[in-house]
Amino acid sequence: MMLTQANKAARPVLAMQARALSASAPSAKPENPMFSSGPCAKRPGWNVSALQTDSLGRSHRSKIGKERLGKVIEESKRILGVPSDYHLGIVPGSDTGAFEMAMWSMLGPKPLDAFAFESFGSGWLKDALNELKLGDQTAVHEADYGVLPDMSKARKDADVMFTYNGTTSGVRVPNLDFIADDREGLSMVDATSAVFSMKIDWSKVDVLTYSWQKVLGGEGAHGVLVLSPRAVERLESHTPSWPMPKVFRLTKKGKLNGDIFKGSTINTPSMLCVEDCLDALKWADSVGGLDGMIDRSEKNLQIVREWVEATPYASFLAQEPSTVSCTSICLSLDGISKDNIKKMTSFLEKEDVAYDIGSYRDAPPGLRIWGGATVENEDMKKLMPWISHAYEKFKDQ
């Protein structure tokens, strides 16, 4: 069970032990100091020489270009367990482009329940209100960093929009039970830091977006859009009242542009990034597919959880244990100022122990450690004593 901050404060013996253990620099460092929450660590053993190069320098419209793009689609659907009647396509603009494409293409016909509990969800909400002008039909459900809004307020006759995992808050939705099976609206899910490390109940999902740069450790600028048959029905029955940029257009002559979901992308993709994604998907299979990747990520969280339970000044930003993310693991540290946390993270970077683990710029001061499947469990174990050491070095006097 996770200890509360009050319980920790009442354990002076534990505190003395923690100080003693962290007084000197640990002898072992992580083999890979890449703990950034995006772009994230490449898969273990990655080397550019492992990538297939036949498609490089070729048109993405060529036979080999379409074949390689199609393979990313097929392998992604297979590993993620996406239903056969769902569509998965590669789109421009990373997860942001994919989610904005879905919003601009499908919102409008139904009321909207918008749930926001971290930076990106707040961004989608602002765009719905300020750019799409949907304020008169939008119910806003917001929560501070560390907690979820009341997800049970999702109405079955409304479109529902939320992030599955708060990349900037370390808070995840524990399940999708709040989405009605007999819903009339669409469920629209930004799952960029959840897929490949968390189970997705596809029966509850109509639109889902992500980027290769998160759990797969891929390169940026490419997004993935997954559509259910209900989402396709919305696309083919609804014409938005606002102008649609070319890169957002998912239909042609009133019907879904199915070529997008076979590898014929809207604009030119990077074939190098495509080959890199295929390499990551091949690695995913080698560690046990989706179940293996989830297990690797949950073990990283467990390593951090055990450290938190043994460390009086540390706690998860997520207040409910069931909502603690296993990918973007966000920590709060007592007894140290924001400026000294920056000194901590700079020290860890200088020592080649951990790169880019400061909290997101809009989030409360603390640490954000990526625990996705491409991070080795042994590296996470080696990181935690270094955080203790850095804390003792820079804590407030």
* pLDDT tens, residue by residue, 205-261: 999 999 999 999 999 999 999 999 999 999 999 999 999 999 999 999 999 999 999
Do 179 and 185 touch, CB atoms closer than 8 A?
Answer: no
Q: Kindly report, residue by residue over 64-107, the tens digit of the pLDDT.
A: 999 999 999 999 999 999 999 999 999 999 999 999 999 999 99
The torsion of the CA quartet 369, 315, 123, 255, rounded to 10 degrees, works out to 70
Do 88 and 261 touch, CB atoms closer than 8 A?
Answer: yes
Task: Give the model's pLDDT for residue 380.
Answer: 98
At 54, list the tokens: 């036949």
The residue among 7 and 73 whose pLDDT is bigger is 73
Residue range 59-285, CATH number: 3.40.640.10
Task: Give the model's pLDDT for residue 389.
Answer: 98
Do 371 and 297 touch, CB atoms closer than 8 A?
Answer: yes
Q: What is the DSSP string of 314-342?
A: EEESSSSGGGB-SSEEEEEETT--HHHHH
Closest CA to 46 of 282, 211, 293, 329: 282
Q: Kindly report, residue by residue over 119-136, the tens digit of the pLDDT.
A: 999 999 999 999 999 999
Report pTM.
Answer: 0.93
Do 330 and 367 touch, CB atoms closer than 8 A?
Answer: yes
Task: Give the model's pLDDT for residue 24.
Answer: 85
Q: What is the DSSP string of 250-263?
A: -EETTEE-GGGGGT
Domain boundaries along the sequence of the chain: 5-43+288-394, 59-285
At 190, list the tokens: 């930004």
Look up the CATH superfamily of 5-43+288-394: Aspartate Aminotransferase, domain 1 (3.90.1150.10)
Q: Kindly report, residue by residue over 128-175, the tens digit of the pLDDT.
A: 999 999 999 999 999 999 999 999 999 999 999 999 999 999 999 999
Task: Give the model's pLDDT for residue 397.
Answer: 81
pLDDT at 324 over 90: yes
pLDDT at 19 over 60: no
Do 155 and 113 touch, CB atoms closer than 8 A?
Answer: yes
